[in-house]
Structure 1
């Protein structure tokens, strides 16, 4: 296993498996002396501090002793080593989009900020594309596509950092055609801590003879903050041959067809609402196969609270597939069948997305323009006042009638008249389901679509009511299975990149199925063994991190 010599020399990275030693002080000068470069350290007296101790969800603001803005694996290792020696609680942040307080909880003393590690390049020595964890997804797309005409099928929101997104499995609008982002992950570089406190930097690949292959596997959906700090990812599609970079990852469609339509709540009675949601589920049941031409279609159905005024559907179709326009029209017709309310433009916010009235008529757009357009049409990304809460579920079948009634009932509750409150249904299956459940740590390969509950508020006085609505809605939705979507014939657990601390609270999860089985299903025991091998001290942990074996 070798690394690109040019990149190591330029970035000062350590070779795989190199042990790091020396130093006993946490101050930046001591860390910088060990890493051989200047390290940016921000402490409470620094004017930058308020910006660096909060992420996207303003509900959580940290109080660490220091935030280290690192620029190399060597700096990461030096910071980790000092924290180990001093017994400091350390967490890591890439894009700052964690939905819970796993990075910025009150007990965290040291934060490793990866935002300055944003390189996206081709590494000839690895014959793979290298992406640093601080790179935001839109930057990844811009660099890969403009330079080589390729892409990784990652998420939609432009600000999400690669670090946490990839390690949790990754979902995006190309998943039905190209699979998950981790299905193209070739290697990962991770700073880990041994039982004796020694810090080393390990490169793990998917090669069968790689002694660190299990560490690679853990980062194909095992979640962030569990095994170490990722300092680089490498991507190459399995089966890709040759050394031409343009042939080592998939190309996105040159153009996509994008539309956004809505149904006014004033025109939707309970029967029509149930028919709309049932139609959406039925379509995904019928078109789940990896080789179905309708894998070209990916969509998001936003079931907004009645105070929003409408329910909306955003659809994207890969136009490189023959008959793309017919696929689009057939999908909208299938979802609308038997719904008496007329379709109209999207004039209100849809979950995270803003109003999109200009897409009432389907638009054919170059892929990169569409990715930028939808990825930045998000009013939550730049609002420094918004707090939020979320929940998730995977569906393996269509909704039972009782769940349809629960959806309608809670979206009409008068005590929760918040127009941002919604449940977003998102397409899954297709190429995602062509990968075995244990081939990666992402276990939900049989799911047809997924759900995300969302609610935002600005006034702190609104938090109790917003969180209560979300909890009561979720508990009612899954009342038959202990308040959570346990893996069975209908539901299939939860998405680890949409973390929910309530899943590990016996007040809200009475199913007898632990939180880790909702996230990881049968892959959890293997993740625990990997945890013991690479983080035996449990140095990297949070409220729902992978636990060491008993």
Structure 2
């Protein structure tokens, strides 16, 4: 697999931030400047500067390399406003990067100025707003650490610790606590965004959850509308909408004190097509039966990884890591019953090593992926699943992954736990429209420098297309599918060569919420300054 491990890619689209610092971990309303000095930046880095190449490679998908006229590394909202004003006045195309975890070339494609948010990475309690603030460049691991050590709380975000808040939250955000607690955006209290008006002037706007807020529609657009659409997010404020009072230790979910985790493993050796069907069906049906909010089972989260068969004596196999809140009554039984239900009737026999019990933050650090383990050349294609794969769809995966080959051995089908509390929110309440699915599916392939990238792209495209052949090669919402996840963007969904469904890409990602997102776009980005291959289009 090269530099990309098969554990990664849970986090979303934006990422790698710099070190965060506050005066102390509790009770403060504003972050302090490092060592009492002036704020960072701004820093403009042009191609002749030796730092340029370092900034150009600061991304996880090595398929793409941004080569703008300059990178603008910022340290405050005011600096973002100034940077955008300068670029717009000069007629330069602007893109933004929280860290670079994008599946597609949204940062580099046509960019003349890349505004880099990595040094805006503070996490702190804002007493004035009564919410916990996370700047756009803060990585999820930085946010988890500060929120937990400071106040004993967390957000239900992704498992990839190097992903940053900037794009992750805007695209919806989900992770191991989402079945219990919902999506990350279900806790979005307010967002600060640098927007550009019709005259080309940039300014910072704060939009809140309050329906009476005249900027409320901009808040709504950032509850799943995706990054790079309406402006540049500089910070988010997070608070449980049901929380009362101003104690920061009571404003967000408390994570489990301990996590009980384990893994189930099946070998490719002896795995038949019929048994493979059973494995996929068992896994999905467990989620159909066990996604009732408040039940012990929604505290269980897992991800079934099915890598391509390897050549040689050890063909590898399917791996199901899963974890549960250790305080759930009979947690060990629930976890073992999960493994048994998935393994029921499947041959070869499942192997389950001893379970592991860890404090929550230790488990997060152990199970999280850093930026290094996510980097490489890759192509990912996602889908929400409302029902188990049909046998025909399981057969497509088996045929693509079972036969060992130079390309298929670098491929992966990934089925991630979903549903539960996520599905209690009405589809129109947030821009994250899909609130019916039980699993997320990801088709992925990776390759190394010097290998035939075109062959690997063709392989994963065919796998995705054949999986959803009954709906034109894409996961059209309705029936067994629920569309696709914008934090795993795939430009092929907008390509009629790969999407023959007649359903536009915007419906696949946004469903009935797209028209409202277009109205928000028209109001807040009337010049279409912030755009990419799958950005929200201004209304006709």
TM-score if structure 1 supplies the norm length?
Answer: 0.89
**Aligned twin of 2:383:** 393
What is the correspondence of 1:495-506 to structure 2 with a 5 Å cutoff? 495-506=485-496
1:71 counterpart = 2:61: no
Partner of 1:458: 448
1:368-447 to 2 correspondence within 5 Å?
368-376=361-369, 380-381=373-374, 386-447=376-437
In structure 2, the residue matched to 1:143 is 146
Task: Provide, for residues 183-234 of structure 1, a one-character-per-residue CA deviation record: whole Å limited to 9, x for no partner.
Answer: 0010000000001111111000001211101100000000000000001100
Q: How does 1:281-296 map to 2 (within 5 A)?
A: 281-296=284-299
Question: How far is the alpha carbon of 1:378 from its aligned partner?
Answer: 7.8
Among 305, 308, 315, the residue aligned to 2:308 = 305
Whether contact under 8 Å (1:306, 1:417) holds in the other structure is: no
Check conservation: 2:189, 2:208, Cα contact below 8 A. Answer: yes
Report if aligned partners of 2:306, 2:414 keep a CA contact under 8 Å in 1: yes
Cα displacement (A) at 1:479? 0.8
Deviation at 1:323, TM superposition (A): 1.4
1:306 match: secondary structure:
coil
Q: Count matched residues.
A: 506
CA distance in 1, matches of 2:175, 2:460: 24
Among candidates 126, 130, 133, match of residue 133 of structure 2:
130
Provide closer, same or farther for how the CA distance between residues 144 and 138 of structure 1 changes in structure 2, counting only shifts above 3 A: same
How far apart are the structure 1 equivalents of 2:470 and 2:29?
Answer: 58
**From 43, 47, 50, the counterpart of 2:50:** 47
> In structure 2, what is the equivalent of residue 336 of structure 1?
343
How far residue 260 of structure 1 moved from its aligned partner, in angstroms, is 1.8
Matches of 1:507 and 1:271, distance apart in 2 = 32
1:173 paired residue number: 176
Match of residue 276 from structure 1: 279
Aligned to 2:10: none
Which runs of no fewer than 5 residues in structure 2 stay unpaired?
1-26
CA spacing shift, 1:366–1:36, aligned 2, 3 Å: closer
Inter-partner Cα distance in structure 1 for 2:437 and 2:415: 12
Aligned match of 2:526 = 536
Match of 2:196 among 193, 196, 209: 193
1:545 equivalent among 532, 535, 538:
535
> Which structure has more RCO (C-alpha within 8 Å, separation ≥ 6)?
2
Retained in 1: the 8 A contact 2:125–2:248? Answer: yes
2:355 corresponding residue in structure 1:
362
Question: 1:19 maps to what in 2?
Answer: none
The answer to whether the 8 A contact 2:139-2:164 is kept is: yes
C-alpha root-mean-square deviation of aligned residues, in Å?
1.9
Change (3 A) 1:10 1:372: closer
CA contact (8 A) 1:289 1:433 kept: no
Q: 2:499 matched to 1:509?
A: yes
Residues 22-52 of structure 1, C-alpha deviation per residue, up to 9 Å, x if partnerless?
xxxxxxxxxxxxx997411111111111121
Is 1:113 paired with 2:106?
A: no
How far does residue 243 in structure 1 lie from its aligned partner after superposition? 1.1
- Tell me how far 1:309 sits from its aligned partner: 1.4
**1:159 corresponds to 2:130:** no
- Correspondences of 1:508-527 after superposition (within 5 Å): 508-527=498-517
TM-score (norm 2): 0.91
Q: Would the aligned equivalents of 2:138 and 2:165 in 1 still touch at CA under 8 Å? A: yes
Matches within 5 A, 1:344-359: 344=351
2:13 paired residue number: none
Q: 1:543 and 1:379 mapped to 2: Cα distance?
A: 26
